[in-house]
Amino acid sequence: MTARYIREEHHIFRDAFRKFLEKEAYPYFHEWEKQGIIPREFWRKMGEQGFLCPWVDEQYGGFNADFAYSVVINEELEKVGSSMIGIGLHNDIVVPYLSEYGTEEQKRKWLPKCISGEIITAIAMTEPGAGSDLAGITTTAVRDGEHYIVNGQKTFITNGIHADLIIVVCKTDPKAVQAHKGISLLIVERDTPGFTRGRKLEKVGLHAQDTAELFFTDAKVPAENLLGEEGKGFYYLMEKLQQERLIVAIAAQTAAEVMFRLTKDYVKERTAFGKKVSQFQTVQFRLAEMATEIELGRTFLDDLIELHMKGENIVTKVSMAKWWITEMAKRVAAESMQLHGGYGYMEEYEIARRYRDIPVSAIYAGTNEVMKMIIAKNLEL
């Protein structure tokens, strides 16, 4: 059943985007996994076809698309492979900061190129000693005349190698009594003096997704690159994390649906002891359980998307969705690999890649333990 927020124009858009991916992504994805990066040329093709940040205002090159277009894009990218998450991060996590908190000059300077694919973005929150605890970051930005001097290190940065524009979470007031009140967001450009990239990190999964370390050694960032107001960074992050966690839930839900389809098809074809594997009651029960959990996830997720599109506060529920759906997808991955037997452990089978890729969804955008802390707090426990 199609979700209520999906209309005819979204179906048309999905068909067009799927055809684009069938031509430009599916045939090359395995090679991108081996190369450890998605080519910039693919980003430019996405931009040329209007698949990057379609929600942005027309005056900057977008077409004021509603969030349902973002849902379609993220679902179809996930069907190709989880390593495509860097595009969703650019579209629906990083660029919204520019659109929401940027000055008119900043928006005119950068948004059109974010839409065309000329600029790839990233957001640098995590540090070697600070992950989900954003108030614990140590990267500093000290005002010096017309510049901020930035010092620190970031790690696990999605799009870290490709990124031309990075929103860096830093402390402009390290002495603030309440640590979170000293946090600001700075926009760091590719050629900033004192900014360097470390190695492209080798991960268990998401092999085509470029993840990197970033270093700032007396990096000289123009004061005009401050995003929003000084000291308000933590609050901006809190406002935008609702959508970020929703995007993670959408990808995990889609991955679970893909893995279920792969497994159902496989057990209906595979024979053992003279009959189809799908005819064994134990297999039928496991598939029935998976199908039920997937349906529960989809129903909950579609409801949340509708509420989000209405502008409602869904912080508690989206925290529930992020942890439950990602954990459900991990269970589906494990069951699916087991039901594939030995072939499930072979790299040539998609389920092996899916099994590698899904666990990190329970870690990024705030670990699932942090999601439970948020839920508990909002339950007034």
Which active-site residues does the annotation give? Answer: 244
Those residues whose C-beta lies under 8 Å from the C-beta of residue 200, and which sit 6 or more positions away, are: 36, 37, 160, 161, 210, 211, 212
Query: Do residues 70 and 55 make contact, with C-beta atoms less than 8 angstroms apart?
Result: yes
Q: What is the DSSP letter of 26?
A: G
Q: Kindly report the backbone phi and psi dihedral angles of residue 151, in degrees, each rounded to the nearest multiple of 5, phi listed first.
A: -135, 135
Q: What is the DSSP letter of 174?
A: T
Q: Tell me which H or E stretch contains 167.
A: strand 165-171
- Which residue type is seen at 168? V
Task: Report the alpha-carbon distance of residue 251 to residue 57 in Å, rounded.
Answer: 25
DSSP per-residue letters across 178-193: SGGGGEEEEEEETT-T
Which tokens belong to 27? 């045939």
Task: Report the alpha-carbon distance of residue 250 to residue 83 in Å, rounded.
Answer: 14
